[in-house]
Structure 1
Amino acid sequence: MSLKRSILFLLPLLAAAPALAQTTVTGQPATGGASSATSGGQNAVTRPNTDHAHDGNSASTGTLANAKLEKGANSFTEGEARRRLEKAGYHEVKDLKKDGDGIWHASAMLDGKPASVGLDFKGNVAVQ
């Protein structure tokens, strides 16, 4: 087989092969710093609690009876706060108001019983 035929034979195979990712390292890694395992890694990131938000289990959306809600700049609108409380299993959400600490408070029904409930900036829901 000639070189020209070999190249023509290999071109379709090369085109179909997956591209390999390339990583470029610039500089040296920091020394003396804590690893992500000891520094908390992703735990240090503030984000809404969306883990298992759609599995229908109210506990998975951050609902806790004795949880301490965290103060912080809450970007949830009233409608978003209401929907998060409803996803957590609360019904008939009334008097929904955000306090000066950024925590939404409301009265609602849970399992047929009245409850005072709160929602923090991370999306955690707790009975007050």
Structure 2
Amino acid sequence: MRTTLTTIALLTLLGAAPALAQTTVTGKPAEEGGANSATSGGQEAVTRPNTDSQDANRPASTGALHNVKLEKGANSFTEGEARSRLERSGLKDVKDLKKDDQGIWRGTAMLDGKSVGVGLDFKGNMSAQ
């Protein structure tokens, strides 16, 4: 009797495990026809970086860093992490990074030979103006 109850309990737990592991996908990535951050009105409902596709060699050619809405929030990126993310996006000579009162890292960088203001929010969204 005890073995039967144990077996039933084990089977019940195993049957419920896949249901607990399911996730819900919200939206489509930009490369699959979903809206990018510039046209979606921001991503207030989810905490993830924007889905803009970037050309790491020429980010300005895709417009991926322009018109991106940076969101205020508790930013856990260190200055070094923020600098590294901005440089990986194709920006050069990132300097003067400071975290503002809204938790957004702001500084300057070179983009296509011009000095631009840059920003990085707590979700990893980047902007160059």
TM surpasses 0.5: yes
After the TM superposition, list the runs of 4 or more consecutive aligned residues in structure 1 that deviate by more than 3 angstroms: 50-59
Instruction: Write the distance in 2 (CA, Å) between the matches of 1:76 and 1:104.
Output: 9
Equivalent residue number for residue 86 of structure 2: 85
Equivalent residue number for residue 99 of structure 1: 100
TM-score by length of 2: 0.57
Preserved CA contact (<8 Å) 2:50 2:125: no
Equivalent residue number for residue 23 of structure 1: 15
Higher RCO (C-alpha 8 Å, min separation 6) = 1
Preserved CA contact (<8 Å) 2:119 2:127: yes
Identity within the alignment, %: 60
Give the superposition deviation at 1:50: 8.1
Preserved CA contact (<8 Å) 1:108 1:115: yes
Deviations 1:2-27 (A, max 9, x none): xxxxxxxxxxxxxxxxxxxx4228xx
Give the superposition deviation at 1:45: 3.5
Correspondence 1:1-128 to 2 at 5 A: 22-24=14-16, 40=26, 44-47=45-48, 49=49, 56=56, 58=59, 63-128=64-129
Instruction: Write the distance in 1 (CA, Å) between the matches of 2:104 and 2:64.
Output: 14
**Structure 1 residues 84 and 76: alpha-carbon distance in aligned structure 2, compared to 1, 3 A threshold:** same
TM-score by length of 1: 0.58
Preserved CA contact (<8 Å) 2:104 2:120: yes
Equivalent residue number for residue 18 of structure 1: none
Instruction: Write the distance in 1 (CA, Å) between the matches of 2:16 and 2:65.
Output: 45
Aligned positions, number: 92
Deviations 1:37-72 (A, max 9, x none): 8xx58x74413x28699984648xx94211220000
Larger radius of gyration: 1
Give the CA RMSD over aligned residues.
3.3
